[in-house]
Amino acid sequence: MSSETTKIPGSSPKVDDLRLSNANLDRVPDAISCPAYDRSSVTPGIVHLGIGAFHRAHQAVVIDDLLAGGATDWGIVGASLRSPDTRDALAPQDCLYTVAVRSGAGTDHRIIGSVLRCEVATENPGQLIARLTNPATRIVSLTVTEKGYCHTPQTGDLDERHPDIVLDLQNSDAPRSAIGFLVAALARRRIAGTAPFTILSCDNLSANGHTVGRLVTQFAALKSRNLAKWIEAEVAFPSTMVDRIVPETTDADRAAVSSALGMTDAWPIVTEPFTQWIVEDRFSAGRPDFAAAGVQLVSDVKPFEHMKLRLLNASHSALAYLGYLAGHETIAATMTDDRFAAFARQVMEDAAPTLAMPAGTDLAGYSASLLQRFANPALHHRTWQIAMDGSQKLPQRLLGTIEGRLRLGLPIDTHALAVAGWMRYLTAKDEQGRPIDVRDPLAPKLAAIAEAAGPAAERLAPALLEVDSIFGALGADPRMRSAVTGALAKLYEMGARRVVQEFQAA
Ligand code: CS2
């Protein structure tokens, strides 16, 4: 073994005398697949904003396949908007990392080489703008999470009072938000006569392409009407449906992967076997042959996006809030309780009538496969992780279905219970009185409402339903108010486990 020593805080001590890197790829055990191409000949074509675990488990794997097929001008430069952690972990290993695909049947490891560089936007915003302005950058993709769009989730409009947007409108040389970077670079490309890149949102937002397009255009219009017009006319914002379950990497994962590799990988990714990417085929400056890597190219992604948000993500959030309250640490643990599994199925069944799917779509089969994926015993996907940022997730996951069912004159009890679970969760005390670490951009505001209302459903539910940026007009609908208040009262009275149990019996 080499004597190269790099100690990574929090990583396994067993294999820390050797670090994953280009130079050490030939020491990786044969059973683990490595990039099947010469990394030194790959050039960047994509800049990805928000290089977290999700991107590395999903899009970067697709690009890795395409690079192996010869599309060598589509390498990725990843940028984190704030935190240096990903760069700090990956730069010393030439941005190589392992994807560990886990199921009940075992783990498959694969080393991904498609990320060529990692940068941190705040450290050198000028460098990132220059990269985005470079004509070689033909696609800018994003996974910045729902809150990274600086918008009002209920309306999909730019939140002009968001502190990052306020700053970015004043300073286009050192933006802080993804929207600020995109517009700063597009403005420069327009002046330079360079064709604009495609903006490819890979976040769980309804009509994510349309939404990011609207936000970029609204922001640009606040700077220059001509720039906004040019963006509207020239920039493609395809919507995408992206799906792969990717729990946060733990120290135990780092240790297990590093031991399989025989060398340290400071930030491997753990995920499930399933992966899906459906993309609208509209690109401003070319694209790789995505279909060759199994990506589905369609003309309208909306039905698939709604299907995923209202079946997968909705039941995920419902399981996260109610499962957490019932004392379950992970989704898989929550699913071992048949009543919770049945509740998740009910969330999906209730969403089905609100969807307009292409003929032949097998929603029952899709739902059954989701339940199996949630039950994957090898994934440690914490309920707490999914519970994060509820204020940004509820509209597209749960509220759209509620509105749809109300329009159809159907009952909304299932989804009202999930919303009540979120309300009970954000009181920040669990059913045993222990503190809950609530993470949400609206946390201070929501906590103040919960504090003022006290633990009484008839005060708390209506007060939270008045948060306009989440609920809009739905919050004032008497059917919504009564269903959510009733469900929250039951949660206080009986606890999540019994409510879910009785819900199934009813
Ligand atoms: C999850 C998603 O964290 C969450 O809110 O619901 O990240 C989910 O795992 C992915 O969308 C699956 O594709």
pLDDT tens-digit series, residues 130-144: 999 999 999 999 999
**Probe target for ligand 1 pocket from 208, 270, 277, 313, with the most ligand atoms within 8 Å of CB:** 313
Average pLDDT over residues 369-390: 98
pLDDT(10) > 80: no
CA nearest neighbour of 210 among 344, 295, 301: 301
3-state secondary structure of 109: strand
- Phi, psi for 397 (deg, rounded to 5): -90, -45
Query: In this predicted model, what pLDDT tens digit does every residue of 303-362 receive, in sequence order?
Result: 999 999 999 999 999 999 999 999 999 999 999 999 999 999 999 999 999 999 999 999
CA of 276 to the centre of ligand 1 (A): 13
Query: Which tens digits make up the pLDDT trace of 384-443?
Result: 999 999 999 999 999 999 999 999 999 999 999 999 999 999 999 999 999 999 999 999
C-alpha 344 – ligand 1 centre gap (Å): 14
245, 305, 374, best to mutate for ligand 1 pocket (most atoms within 8 Å of CB): 245
Tens digit of each residue's pLDDT (9 = 90 or more) over 22-65? 999 999 999 999 999 999 999 999 999 999 999 999 999 999 99
Q: Which atom of ligand 1 is nearest to the CA of 242?
A: 13
Tens-place pLDDT, residues 191-213 = 999 999 999 999 999 999 999 99
| CA-closest residue to ligand 1 atom 11 | 243
State how far the Cα of 350 lies from the Cα of 415, in Å rounded to an integer.
8
Q: Is the pLDDT of residue 2 over 60?
A: no
Q: pTM of the prediction?
A: 0.94
Alpha helices in 274-337 (DSSP H): 302-307, 314-325, 331-335
Confidence of residue 15 (pLDDT cuts 50, 70, 90): low
- Residue that has been written with the tokens 């969807």 in this structure: 355
Cα dihedral: 208, 211, 215, 216 (round 10): 60
Region 358-381: what's the mean pLDDT? Answer: 97
Rg of the chain in Å (alpha carbons) = 23
Q: State percent of the chain over pLDDT 90.
A: 95
Residue 12 pLDDT > 70: no
- Collect all residues with Cβ–Cβ distance below 8 Å to 252 and sequence separation of at least 6: none
Query: Is pLDDT at 16 greater than 70 in this prediction?
Result: no
- What is the average per-residue pLDDT within 473-479? 98
Report which protein residue has its CA nearest ligand 1's atom 4.
Answer: 386
- The confidence score (pLDDT) of residue 1 equals 30
Give residue-wise pLDDT tens across range 224-283.
999 999 999 999 999 999 999 999 999 999 999 999 999 999 999 999 999 999 999 999
Indicate the DSSP class of residue 336.
T
Structure tokens at 239: 């919507």
Using the mean position of ligand 1's atoms as its centre, give its distance from the Cα of residue 374 in Å: 11
**What's the confidence (pLDDT) of residue 17?**
81
- What b/e sequence results for 458-490 when a residue is b if at least 16 CB atoms lie within 10 Å of its CB, and e otherwise? eebbbbbbebebbbbebbebeebbebbbbbbbb
Q: What is the pLDDT of residues 89-124, one digit of tens each?
A: 999 999 999 999 999 999 999 999 999 999 999 999
Residue 13 has pLDDT above 50, yes or no: no
**What pLDDT shows up at residue 446?**
98
